Amino acid sequence: MVISRTPTRISFFGGGTDFPEWYRENGGAVLSTTINKYCYISCRLLPPFFDYKHRIVYSKQEIANDIDEIVHPSVRETLRYMNFTEGVSIEYDGDLPAQSGLGSSSAFTVGLLHALYALSGKMVAKRRLAIEAIHVEQEMIKEKVGCQDQVAAAFGGLNRIEFKSERSIEVHPVVMSGDLFRRFQDHFMLFFTGVTRIASRIESDKMANMEERKTELKVICEMVEEACRILDKGENGFNDFGKLLNECWRLKKQLSEKVSNPYIDTIYETALKNGAIGGKILGAGGGGFILFFVSPEDREGLRQSLNFLLHVPFHFETLGSQIVYYTEESV
């Protein structure tokens, strides 16, 4: 049996520029971090005593004799990509709800690839996990997704990620002292809006508007470098980081009318009136998790003002996708 543990991510700047439709011509970059909220996938070879070949457990349970019969798109296409011919049992457990803006779908694909490789007795590099997950999602499932989630999930950590082509992706860790790193993460608060949504529908709308929103996307991409320069100032730049998040949110809302709505706008404006310096809806938008940047002394006031939302404490993580359990078994 094998168990993989793969982190979800928070994207600060650059979202939207990680789509091939954009970066092939313009280049792209994001600044993101992974957090200690994980996707766990356990895999084992299925003993030959059952009247089915594959068993998949997530929010539903599937049994199938052929890969084509599997409904879950990532399981089906990942097994197909790896030409996995043996019967397998796959079970998923996650810390957070799916379709909520933290890249859980890509964390699932990265974690499943990692687990299946381990089950086959192979160790693979983080870059390979990321590139292959991108291929499965974009080319096989035909999802309208970018490339940042797969890279973040595979590598882990606080990184500036640059996109030039599907196979030319550079990951640059943002270096901070341990104490500064902890103080930086203490400025973030994460809340769940209670709304889940299909990200690909919102991203499709953004892509349809791409030509009209080139100016906004270029500025959003440039904000990645600006944010890194701000962090180079140490704690003196923290407030400027929050203000830049606020500017980025205003631009993000212009990419599609589906990014925000009156409910999200009310949450955001309430936060700004109660200590938040900046923030954003994570992922495509439209719901899911909302992140705020706030001075530590104002955290409790912000939490009280948003007490109708679920506050989700978290920490940054640095390991990326890991095999946390492995044992050989015979069937």
On whether both 197 and 159 belong to a single domain, the answer is no
On whether both 134 and 201 belong to a single domain, the answer is no
331 part of a folded domain: no
Separation in Å, CA 253 to CA 16, 85, 168, 212, 293:
12, 45, 29, 14, 18
- pLDDT over 90 percentage in the chain: 78
| pLDDT > 70? residue 143 | yes
CATH number, residue 122: 3.30.230.10
| pLDDT > 90? residue 323 | yes
Burial string for 253-264 (b: 16+ CB within 10 Å, else e) reads: bebbebbbeeeb
- pLDDT over 70 percentage in the chain: 94
- Domain range holding 308? 178-316
Instruction: State the pLDDT confidence band at 259, using cuts at 50, 70 and 90.
Output: confident
Separation in Å, CA 246 to CA 177, 197, 293:
26, 23, 9
On whether both 16 and 55 belong to a single domain, the answer is yes
Domain count, the chain: 2
What count of other Cβ atoms lies within 10 Å of the Cβ of residue 28? 27
CATH number, residue 197: 3.30.70.890
309 part of a folded domain: yes
Q: Which of 43-47, 56-60, 250-254 has the lowest mean pLDDT?
A: 250-254
